[in-house]
Amino acid sequence: MKQFLRVIGFFTFLCCKIAFISDAQEIGLEVDFFGYADNREYKSIYTEDKTFFGAILSPKLYFELDSNHRVYGGLHYNQDFGMHSENKERVSPIAYYNFKNKNIDFALGLLPRHERLADLPKMVLADTFMYDRPNIEGMYFAFQNQHIKQAIYIDWLSKQSPRHRERFIVGLSGKYTFGSFFVADDALLYHNALTSNDEMDEHIQDNGIVLLRVGADLGNRTFLDSLTIDAGAAVGFDRVRTEYDLRVAKGFISNIHLGYKQFFLNNTIYLGDPQHLPNGDSFYHRDTYNRLDLGWIPFRKRNLEGKFTASFHFAPDQVSNQQAFTLRYRFGKTLF
């Protein structure tokens, strides 16, 4: 807590100084509160039986240079409940430049992950990244118009040192809409390089996944508020240099989403080769997997949403279950 108060004090002092000397056209405050209770009763191999229970508070100031250019500064204060000596509070800085107009969104720095990558498929990036690593540390670029949105990003996970490997992620995420139909693409490359210690016996690892899906948005043709269906291919790549050559894993994946008033249902099925995914959901380390999410949104008002989800994971060895409640409240205010 002392660390948090020191950071808050320094952050407030710094922002006041910057506000005093800045020639920004507009200065504003944005706050994101995210509370989570995620109980995972996992029984299958490769998965971790664990409970995530805590909150992340993310205040940030922005300085608008003109209608397209902003500089952001702030922090994430992330605290798992039940704090003890092995469960410390975590403070992560937010600091990035953002250029944005109706077609382009470009950001460079330490930028909140949820704002831009919240909808990535779990096969590509596990949702635990939202709890444990709320920032993208790198760059993000997206182009969009009425029918297209395509994004590319790089997330630097670790800088090379005598004890730490150089590690980074490069990803793609896009959607092309044609009336009620769409094509979605998602891809991720994970590169796990070497340390700077030549005496260590290490091997460079390359891992990737590509998803290509076609689907339809049929919500306006039924009594449901939303209905989307998609299906496509998943192709994974894995190589550990000097240990084994490139291995390819292929599979079929399909999703369905139904929403009616405060309730929703999501179902994902995967059939194919087991995927080796260091950053994806561990349930895809098998040739057959089905996930069923039953959800209820008890309250949703303006920038506040509370959501309960009961998830059932059907794998060949076991059936696992998961119960999660998340609450997110976001607001912003112009200060000057």
> How far apart are alpha carbons 137 and 118 in whole angstroms?
16
Question: At 244, which helix (H) or strand (E)?
Answer: strand 244-260
Q: Burial, 118: exposed, middle or buried (Cβ in 10 Å; 0-12, 13-18, 19+)?
A: exposed
pLDDT of residue 25: 80
pLDDT of residue 208: 95
Between the alpha carbon of residue 309 and those of residues 41, 151, 289, 296, the distances in Å are: 14, 28, 19, 6
> How far apart are alpha carbons 4 and 135 in whole angstroms?
18
| Biggest CA pair distance of the chain | 65
Rg (CA), the chain: 21
Superfamily of domain 2-334: Porin (2.40.160.10)
Q: List the chain pLDDT tens, one digit each, 336 residues.
A: 555 555 555 555 555 555 554 556 889 999 999 999 999 999 888 898 999 999 999 999 999 988 899 999 999 999 888 877 776 668 999 999 999 999 999 999 999 999 999 999 999 999 999 998 999 999 999 999 999 999 999 999 999 898 888 999 999 999 999 999 999 999 999 999 988 887 677 888 999 999 999 999 998 889 999 999 999 999 999 999 888 889 999 999 999 999 999 999 999 999 999 999 899 999 999 999 999 999 999 989 889 999 999 999 999 989 999 999 999 999 998 888
pTM (global) more than 0.95:
no
Q: With H, G, I as helix, E, B as strand and everything else as coil, classify residue 264.
A: strand
So where are the chain's domains? 2-334
pLDDT of residue 103: 97
Between the alpha carbon of residue 327 and those of residues 85, 93, 312, the distances in Å are: 27, 22, 21
